[in-house]
Amino acid sequence: MKFGIGVLGATGFIGTPYRKEIRESPDDAQIIAVHGRRRDLLEEAGVLDRAELVTDDWKQVIDHPKVDLVLICTPDAFHHEAILRCAKLRKHVICEKPLGLNVAEASEMWHAIQQTGAGHFVPFWTRYVPVFVRAKHVVQTGVLGDIKLIVYRWHNPRPFNIPFTWRDDASVSSAGSVADVGSHAYDTLRWMAGVEATRVLAHADVITPAKPDLGDINLAEAISWGQSHSPSSNQDSNSSGSTAKRRKGTAYDYAAISWELRSGADAVLMVSHSPFVRKGLAPEIELHGTNASLAVDRLRSTVSLFRPGDDKGEPEVVPDPGPVNRFSNYVFPGLRDRIEGKKTDHPGMDDGLAAQLFTDAAAKSAQIGTWVEVNEMVNL
């Protein structure tokens, strides 16, 4: 089955590399239509993709008769209506996480797609990182015994002087870093260790100072600008030489989340995009069981097993072949599995909803300062 793809948010930080991977998979798919807000970038995308339709109207992309698979890379607030239209027209979907702006949207989106029998995929890429795949195998051998405590640190520091983007705006971003990388982290633990949260207690904040506001730029442009403009004062000049005003983010860029598992175990998750919180100081994941503990270090690609009385561990370097085409290797096989009704380990919208239940509970806890129950999923 060869897919005809329409891309919403085609020219952003996510859509641009995705389109490249699709172009490199001509036996699997062809890009038919591209959508974006900025005409300059959109015209370039249309030429690269040899798209039949180049438009700023997302509905035209979904409605195109040759489009049977819609890739949604727009800001969080714009997923819901697009998914419902895809379901109405029985189009297959690839939807970036978080699924929606909140659980209510995510639940409606998932159930709408589920009723159509359409294929669906949510890009939880950590499932495919070799060191995490190896860690899952170790956990499944039972060598850890009963898992009692999990510690997860997901720090993704951005350049100190990175400009403001939509990801910093709580009106279009679903809970900032809590949803952005927290959804990845929660999905990783569900997939790796089969754990589910029952309730959470979170503290979240915006700890990065106000950022230069350069207007409507995407994350790739923001990162590039931030790397090339070292902060020297409270005012910074943009590429045109004018003075850039600053704007304080409203979407969380840091959170510490305690949670209780259905098994009775406990977990602590820390997430951040702040430039002050650096990664690599400690293993990303610690799994502590009754018989042994496991540490997963993504940066060094090692899995270390610690048995009682051993404070050095048994580090295993996991070979990483480097980047692969994620669409030909994971996305298209996952979609075909679901279209054919096969059981699959590839992540879909059901996994996206599970992650959003967790991140929404964490965001609510951060707002009210108390434990919040994570709602049970029904009929998934």
pLDDT tens-digit profile, the chain (380 residues): 899 999 999 999 999 999 999 999 999 999 999 999 999 999 999 999 999 999 999 999 999 999 999 999 999 999 999 999 999 999 999 999 999 999 999 999 999 999 999 999 999 999 999 999 999 999 999 999 999 999 999 999 999 899 999 999 999 998 999 999 999 999 999 999 999 999 999 999 999 999 999 998 999 999 999 999 866 544 444 443 446 799 999 999 999 999 999 999 999 999 999 999 999 999 999 999 999 999 999 999 999 999 998 888 889 999 999 999 999 999 999 999 999 999 999 999 999 999 999 999 999 999 999 999 997 433 33
Q: How many CA atoms lie within 13 Å of 191's alpha carbon, on the beta-carbon side? A: 25
Query: What is the rounded CA–CA span in Å between residue 192 and residue 139?
Result: 7
Name every residue whose Cβ is closer than 8 Å to that of residue 102 and which is 6 or more positions away in sequence.
174, 356, 360
Residue pair 267/258 in contact (Cβ under 8 Å)? The answer is yes
Q: Given this model, what pLDDT does residue 234 score?
A: 42
Q: Collapsing DSSP states into helix, strand and coil, what is residue 198?
A: strand
Q: Given this model, what pLDDT does residue 237 score?
A: 41
One-letter amino acid of 139: V
Q: Given this model, what pLDDT does residue 314 score?
A: 80
Q: Given this model, what pLDDT does residue 184 score?
A: 97
**Fold topology of 126-213+246-321+346-380:** Dihydrodipicolinate Reductase; domain 2 (3.30.360)
Q: Collapsing DSSP states into helix, strand and coil, what is residue 48?
A: helix
* Spacing of C-alpha 363 from chain mean position: 16
For the four alpha carbons of 33, 39, 42 and 44, in that order, the dihedral sign comes to positive
Question: What length does the chain have?
Answer: 380
Looking at the chain, which residues constitute the CATH 3.40.50.720 domain(s)?
Answer: 3-125+324-345
Query: What is the rounded CA–CA span in Å between residue 180 and residue 183?
Result: 6
Query: What is the rounded CA–CA span in Å between residue 206 and residue 223?
Result: 18
Query: What is the rounded CA–CA span in Å between residue 180 and residue 251?
Result: 10
Looking at the chain, which residues constitute the CATH 3.30.360.10 domain(s)?
Answer: 126-213+246-321+346-380
Residue pair 126/188 in contact (Cβ under 8 Å)? The answer is yes
Tokens of 355: 């992650």
Query: What is the rounded CA–CA span in Å between residue 98 and residue 57?
Result: 22
Residue pair 176/202 in contact (Cβ under 8 Å)? The answer is no
Residue pair 254/204 in contact (Cβ under 8 Å)? The answer is yes
Backbone phi and psi for residue 379, each to the nearest 5 degrees, phi listed first: 60, 40
Whether residue 308 has a cis bond before it, omega within 30° of 0: no
Q: Given this model, what pLDDT does residue 364 score?
A: 94
Helix (H) or strand (E) holding 8: strand 3-8
Tokens of 68: 């049977």
Q: Count, in order, helices (H) and strands (E) of the chain.
A: 12, 19
Tokens of 238: 């943009």
Q: Collapsing DSSP states into helix, strand and coil, what is residue 21?
A: helix
Backbone phi and psi for residue 371, each to the nearest 5 degrees, phi listed first: -60, 145
pTM (predicted TM-score) = 0.93
Give the right CATH number for 3-125+324-345 from 3.20.20.80, 3.40.50.2300, 3.30.450.20, 3.40.50.720. Answer: 3.40.50.720
